[in-house]
Amino acid sequence: MGAIRRIFIVAGEASGDKLGQAVMRGLKALQPDIAFSGVGGPLMEAEGLDSLFPMSELSVMGLAEVLPKYRALVRRKDETVAAALAFEPDLLLTIDSPDFCKRVAKDVRAANPAIRTVHYVAPSVWAWRPKRAEKLAKFTDKVLTLLPFEPQLMQAAGMEAEFVGHPVVAEPKASRDDIAAFRAGHGLGDAPLLLLLPGSRMGEVKRLSERFGAAAEAVLAKQAGMRAVVVVADNVRDYLTENEALFPKGTLFLSPKDADEKRAAFAACDVALAASGTVSLELAAAGTPMVIGYDMAWLSRVLMSRMLLIDTVTLVNLVSETRAVPERIGKSCTAKALAEAVLDVLAQPNAQAEAMRLTMERLGRGGVDPGLRAAKALLN
């Protein structure tokens, strides 16, 4: 195959946008004249991508959540496929968002089998629906994985696969000065802080905010002087602003202006209550102990509970091969249970430290920048 000059990229949610930004940055460092087109979020746009449409339109999860938007999603898929074929890329790179991305890759492969396809973030076949790897192999040449145990699963299904690490391990850690500046800038003094992260998708934020807010009320009632801090994703800012009353009085709602401020906020907090997802790795990178809470629409919850192959959904637990991070998922995701778990973590603040350290080590901290590793894997 000749040199790769044109890459069509598709990412469908915030975590994919971060991965896309890192790999685009790596590609430009290795090959400055490379051209991009596709779908991405603000981070990828900052690297030069002119997104076909707002990435937020694709940020839905779960059967019950997808069904009302099915026609719109199909229309966006068709637009993406047409744009990819018109761009005539040397490579199609799909990032996370497996349901949308696999449909794009499948249609592009059917229309032009010469376009090499790489998927970034292996489907979690170790968690549920193991046959997804075999289906992915029908229209995907290579998979870049974030977790060290995934390549062998992808290779067994007939694809090339390479572990490239997770971009979170390459991000700088907030210093004591950064943390002090964050506290001073928001008038927090030395108050102990409870970080609340109800998610980045509108559906999950609507479902979790009331429970997280009530759990925070219960925690603050037992922790003298503690303040709650909510870090708000851009696409759910309006909803949370309109529903501040769901959270304790005096809660600080923060929309970080940059990654440095977000890292300082994470590191400044004593404990976090977070929705399930990549954010658990960001918290581990900051050394912030956490509780994970998550729930889905009733139908999605029932279906997932029947298909899950694992007893934990938290990446820190999976990568470290521990169960150090407590979870309250589905029916157990109640305000009372969440509050009790947070109070237990506060009583043993160092109980998760080794699991978080091991997670970062296994994901590549101290090695080659994962974005650069991913870029090299693509150009090879």
Tokens 């960001």 correspond to 282
Residues 313 and 198 in one domain: yes
Q: Do 278 and 15 form a contact (C-beta atoms < 8 A)? A: yes
Residues 77 and 135 in one domain: yes
Q: Do 276 and 294 form a contact (C-beta atoms < 8 A)? A: yes
Residues 356 and 370 in one domain: no
H-helix segments, the chain? 14-30, 42-46, 63-66, 70-87, 98-111, 132-137, 151-156, 176-185, 202-222, 237-242, 259-268, 279-286, 298-307, 315-320, 335-347, 353-362, 370-379
Query: Which has the higher per-residue pLDDT, 65 or 224?
Result: 224
Residues 212 and 271 in one domain: yes
Quick check: is 194 in a domain? yes
Boundaries of domain holding 44: 6-166+366-379
Quick check: is 1 in a domain? no
If pLDDT is split at 50, 70 and 90, which confidence band does 63 have?
very low
Residues 372 and 349 in one domain: no
When the pLDDT of each residue in the chain is averaged and rounded to a whole number, the result is 91
Residues 263 and 278 in one domain: yes
Quick check: is 203 in a domain? yes
Residues 189 and 253 in one domain: yes
Cα dihedral 94, 99, 100, 104 sign:
positive
Count CB-CB contacts under 10 A for residue 349. Answer: 12
Residues 17 and 154 in one domain: yes
If pLDDT is split at 50, 70 and 90, which confidence band does 2 have?
low
Query: Which has the higher per-residue pLDDT, 80 or 56?
Result: 80
Residues 303 and 353 in one domain: yes
For 343-369, the pLDDT digits (tens) are 999 999 999 999 999 999 999 999 999
Asked if pLDDT for residue 72 goes beyond 60, the answer is yes
Residues 372 and 309 in one domain: no
Counting the structural domains of the chain, the total is: 2
Residues 188 and 150 in one domain: no
Residue 299: CATH number of its domain: 3.40.50.2000
If pLDDT is split at 50, 70 and 90, which confidence band does 107 have?
very high
Tokens describing residue 371: 């974005």
Residues 24 and 156 in one domain: yes
Residues 6+ apart with CB under 8 A from 68: none
pTM for the full predicted model: 0.79
Quick check: is 171 in a domain? no
What is the structure's pLDDT at 306? 63
Asked if pLDDT for residue 1 goes beyond 50, the answer is no
Q: Percent of the chain scored above 90 by pLDDT?
A: 76
Residues 6+ apart with CB under 8 A from 151: 122, 143, 145, 161, 162, 163
What is the structure's pLDDT at 66? 61
Quick check: is 27 in a domain? yes
If pLDDT is split at 50, 70 and 90, which confidence band does 167 have?
confident
- DSSP conformational letter for 128: S
pLDDT, mean of residues 231-248: 92
Order across the sheet with 290-294: list the strands.
Answer: 252-254, 227-231, 193-197, 271-275, 290-294, 327-329
For 88-102, the pLDDT digits (tens) are 999 999 998 888 999
pLDDT, mean of residues 209-234: 96
pLDDT, mean of residues 71-83: 94
